[in-house]
Amino acid sequence: MANPVSVRGLHKAFGARTVLDGIDLEIAPGEFVALLGRSGCGKSTLLRILAGLDRDVEGAAEVQGTVSIAFQQPRLLPWRKVWRNIALGLHRPDGRSVALKALEEVRLAGHADAWPLTLSGGEAQRVSLARALVREPDLLLLDEPFGALDALTRLAMHHLVEDLWAEHRPAVLLVTHDVDEALLLADRVLVLDEGRIVAEHHVDLPRPRRRASVVEQRTRVLADLGVDVETAA
């Protein structure tokens, strides 16, 4: 099977400002990759290109199979009930049973007929995940989907994403600026800086991982990001 993501020599500029400066990236089927970087380093731009939302680029960015994305905001249609929002991912008006099953997977079984505006932030984000997953994507793009959630909800979401990934096995590209999040979830952590991938870390730890187990790699990744832990702590 071809790699879901195959990027070679990708350049992207907004006017005179270069955002992506020669990106090479392969993601294997079922691989969980995290893309780390500071704000404005171009990580969200790369994700948007892979999602097909930005086609005005130089170089090759090939994506194979079905792509789904979960954004930082859940982006649910507020005038559709929760299950209809999930069915939206199926691209057909029926599919209530499929939507219900997906809701069960994200542990929101009782909320099928709720209006999105009545959900909490974490619940809405889980619906958004369910909508992305009903398509059985080959590639799941996650654009800081936990960024707007409180710390406790975020922890629960990490477990959920890990379980869903283990169950469905899509290739995942998670964009985040949370080093712990990246190390806890990903097989491979890439550090993006000024439009280039400046470091790559393989995380060969058994799952589910605990925070304590990634401490050592955390220091190294932070160093790649230009953060000196000794002075920062």
Partner 1 sequence: MALVLLWQLASSTGVLPPEKLASPLTVAQSAGELIADGQLLDAFTVSLGRVFFGFLIGAAVGGASGLVSGLSRWGETLLDPPVQMLRTLPHLGLIPLFILWFGIGEEPKLALVASGVAFPLYLNLHAGIRQTDPGLVEAARVLGYSRFERVVHVVLPSAVPQTLVGLRIALGTAWLSLIVGEQINADAGLGFLINNAREFLRTDVVVVGLVVYALLGLTTDALVRVLERRILRWRTR
Task: Assess whether the previous peptide bond of 78 is cis (omega < 30° from 0).
Answer: no
**Closest distance to partner 1 from the beta carbon of 90 (Å):** 9
Tokens, residue 227: 């953060």
Task: Single out the residue of 38, 75, 168, 188 in contact with partner 1 (rule: CB under 8 A).
Answer: 75
The backbone torsions φ and ψ at residue 59, rounded to the nearest 5 degrees and listed phi first, read 95, -175
By CB under 8 A, residue 67 contacts partner 1: yes
**Closest distance to partner 1 from the beta carbon of 130 (Å):** 13
Query: Which residue type occupies 137?
Result: P
Provide the total of helices (H) and of strands (E) in the chain, helices listed first: 8, 9
Q: Which stretch binds partner 1 (CB under 8 A): 26-34, 55-63, 68-76, 154-162?
A: 68-76
How far apart, in whole angstroms, are the C-alpha atoms of residue 124 and residue 171? 23
DSSP state of 117: G
By CB under 8 A, residue 6 contacts partner 1: no
By CB under 8 A, residue 78 contacts partner 1: yes
By CB under 8 A, residue 53 contacts partner 1: yes
Which 118-147 positions form the footprint of partner 1 (CB under 8 A)? 118, 131, 135
Task: Single out the residue of 1, 16, 117, 233 in contact with partner 1 (rule: CB under 8 A).
Answer: 117
Q: Which of 32, 150, 131 is nearest to 90 (CA)?
A: 131
By CB under 8 A, residue 52 contacts partner 1: yes
Beta bridge partners of 60: 8
By CB under 8 A, residue 51 contacts partner 1: yes
Helix (H, G, I), strand (E, B) or coil at 191: strand
Angle between helices 151-168 and 121-133 (to 10 degrees): 10
**Closest distance to partner 1 from the beta carbon of 222 (Å):** 31
- Can you give the binding site for partner 1, defined by CB under 8 A? 51-53, 67-69, 71, 73, 75, 77-81, 88-89, 91, 115-118, 131, 135
